Amino acid sequence: MTPERPREEDAIPEQMRPNGAADVMVEPSASPQPGSGQLYAALDLGTNSCRMLIARPRGSQFQVVDSFSKAVQLGTGLEATGRMSRGSINRTVQALRICQKKLEKHKIKRMRLVATEACRRAKNSRDFLRQVRRETGLQLEIITPEEEARLAVISCAPLVSGKTEQLLVVDIGGGSTELVWIDMTGVEPSDRPRAIMRLHAGFTPQGLGQARVVDWISVPLGVATLKEQFADVEDDAARFALMSWFFEENLSSFAPYNLENGREGFQVIGTSGTVTTVAASFLGLKRYDRTKVDGLRMSSDQIDTVIREYLALGPEGRRTDPRIGRDRHSLIMSGAAILQALMRVWPTDQLSVADRGLREGLLYAQMSADGVLTDGPYE
C-alpha cells in the first residue's frame, strides 16, 4: 500500500524502465483476456504527496509506462485547524491538473483515483472534492483505513518469504500509519505470496490454506501529522524521543503488541518513503536506485545506526545530505521515530524494504477484476 518521498524514478516523466525494474508481481489468473494491452491508472492523494502510476498488464505482472509524484503537503495545518488550507488545496489542484493531462494523453479508460487520511479527517473534504472535480474533471474517492491497509499489503506480496510464518506489514504514510499482522502458518510455503494477494477479497479468511489476519490498525499519526504534534519542541533529540514514545503509546490497542515473538519465521515488511530513505542511507546511495532498495533486508541494529547518524547530523546536516533528499529532510525524523518505535516493539533481522504501496495495490486490484493477468511464477 503509500506518503512521502518522491523517488528518483518519479522525479521526471517515467517511461518503461529497462530490465523490468518497474515490474510489480501480481496474482496470476487462469488465462489472458481480451483487452490485456489496455492501460490502467492509479492515483494516491495522501497527506503529503500526490502520486500516480500508469501501467499495462504484462504476464503475471504489470509494467509502468508513465508516472507522477509531487509533494503537495495537503495536510499542512490540518492538526491545528481541522481543515485543509487554501494554499495546500491550490498546490494539490495544480498537481492534479498534471495528472489529468497524463490520463488524457494516454487515453486512460480504467482508473482508480483515491484520497486517504487528510481527506478522511478534514472538515472541508467535500468542498475540496467538488473543487477538484470542477477544475480538473477528476473524481476522487476517499477510501477507508481498512482498504488502504489491504491494498498496501497486497502490493508487498512478492517480498514475502516462503519461510515466513508471522508477517507484519507496515505502511508509514503522511497522515496515518497502517499495520497488519498476518498468520501464515496454515499456508504452504510455496503459496504464501499468493495467499497475501488473495486478501484483495477482504481481511476475513476465505477457506482453508488462507492467510489469517490476526489484527490490523490504522494509527492517525504519519510523518506529517506526528511532526506537527511536536513542532513546539525545539531540541532535536528530545523531539525525536518524544515522537517515538508517543507513537508507541498509540500501538497499545493493537492485539499483537504484547505478543512474544522470536526472530525465527517472523518478517516485517515496511513500505513508505521513510523506509526507502533509511535503506538508501544505509546503502550510501547519493542517487536513489529502486533496484537496490526494493527487497533489501535490514536488521534493527542497522536501522538504529542510520537513525543515530540522522540525529548526529542535526536539522541543517539532514537538509544537505544527498541520501535523504530535499523533499524528505523535514519529515525524515518523524518517520524515523515511527520506525524506531516499531523496531523497539518487534526487533527483527528480517525487515524487508518495499518500494511499492497503495498505487501498486490499486493497479493490481483493477487488473485482477478485469482478468487481464496471466499465469506466471513469483520472483
- The pLDDT tens digits for 130-141 are 999 999 999 999
Q: Report the interhelical angle of 300-320 vs 273-283 (nearest 10°).
A: 90
pLDDT(372) > 90: no
The CATH architecture of the domain made up of 8-144 is 2-Layer Sandwich (3.30)
52 vs 29 pLDDT, higher one: 52
Half-sphere exposure of 65 toward its Cβ, with a 13 Å CA cutoff? 18
Q: Where is average pLDDT lowest: 31-45, 165-179, 267-281?
A: 31-45
pLDDT of residue 131: 97
Q: Does domain 147-354 have CATH number 3.30.420.150?
A: yes
Residue 70 corresponds to which amino acid?
K
- 3 pLDDT band, cuts 50/70/90, is very low
pLDDT of residue 205: 58
Crossing angle for the helix pair 86-105 and 125-136, nearest 10 degrees?
40
pLDDT at 244: 97
CA–CA separation, 17 vs 359, rounded Å?
17
pLDDT digits (tens, 9 = 90+) for 279-311: 999 999 989 899 999 999 999 999 999 999 999
Q: Of 218-232, 273-287, 317-331, which gets the smallest average pLDDT?
A: 317-331
Mean pLDDT score, 8-16: 31
Q: What residue spans in the chain does CATH classification 3.30.420.40 cover?
A: 8-144
Asked if residue 213 lies in contact with residue 203, where contact means CB atoms within 8 angstroms, the answer is yes
The pLDDT of residue 261 is: 56
For residue 112, which phi and psi values (nearest 5 degrees)?
-140, 125
**Do 351 and 270 touch, CB atoms closer than 8 A?**
yes
Strands 212-219 and 266-271: unpaired
Coarse DSSP helix, strand, coil percentages of the chain, rounded to the nearest 5 percent:
45, 20, 40
**pLDDT of residue 238 exceeding 50:** yes
Residue 208: what pLDDT?
54
Class of residue 260 by CB neighbours under 10 A (exposed 0-12, middle 13-18, buried 19+): exposed
* pLDDT surpasses 70 at 330: yes
Q: What's the alpha-carbon Rg for the chain, to the nearest Å?
A: 19
**Residue 197: per-residue pLDDT:** 76
pLDDT-above-90 percentage for the chain: 61
pTM of whole model > 0.85?
no
Of the candidate ranges 122-126, 196-200, 211-215, 251-255, the one whose mean pLDDT is the lowest = 196-200
Concatenating the DSSP letter of every residue in 186-223 gives TS-GGGHHHHHHGGGG-SS--STT--EEEEEEEES--H
Q: Note the pLDDT tens digit of each residue in 104-144.
A: 999 999 999 999 999 999 999 999 999 999 999 999 999 99
Mean pLDDT of the chain: 85
Among 194, 192, 212, 193, residue whose Cα is nearest residue 202: 212
pLDDT for position 255: 84
**Grid cell for residue 39:** 492501460
pLDDT of residue 259: 67
Percent of the chain with pLDDT over 70: 85
Helices (H), the chain: 78-81, 86-105, 117-121, 125-136, 145-155, 192-197, 223-229, 236-249, 273-283, 290-293, 300-320, 332-345, 358-370
In this predicted model, which residue has the larger pLDDT, 332 or 158? 332
pLDDT at 377 over 50: no
Report residue 260's pLDDT band, with 50, 70 and 90 as the boundaries. Answer: low
Cα 261 to Cα 159, 160, 273, 346, 370: the distances in Å are 20, 18, 26, 7, 39
pLDDT over threshold 60, residue 5: no
Taking a C-beta distance cutoff of 8 angstroms, is the pair 215, 256 a contact? yes
Model confidence at 379, in pLDDT bands (50, 70, 90)? very low
* CB neighbour list of residue 303: distance below 8 Å, 6 or more residues apart: 278, 282, 339, 340, 343, 351
pLDDT at 209: 64
* Locus of grid cell 540522522: 310
Q: Which residue did the predictor score with more confidence, 13 or 145?
A: 145
Which part of the chain is CATH 3.30.420.150? 147-354
DSSP single-letter state for residue 158: G
d(CA 76, CA 78): 6
pLDDT of residue 216: 93
Over residues 137-163, the mean pLDDT reads 91
Q: Name the more confident of 127 and 193.
A: 127
- Residue type at position 285: L
Mean pLDDT, to the nearest integer, of 89-109?
Answer: 97
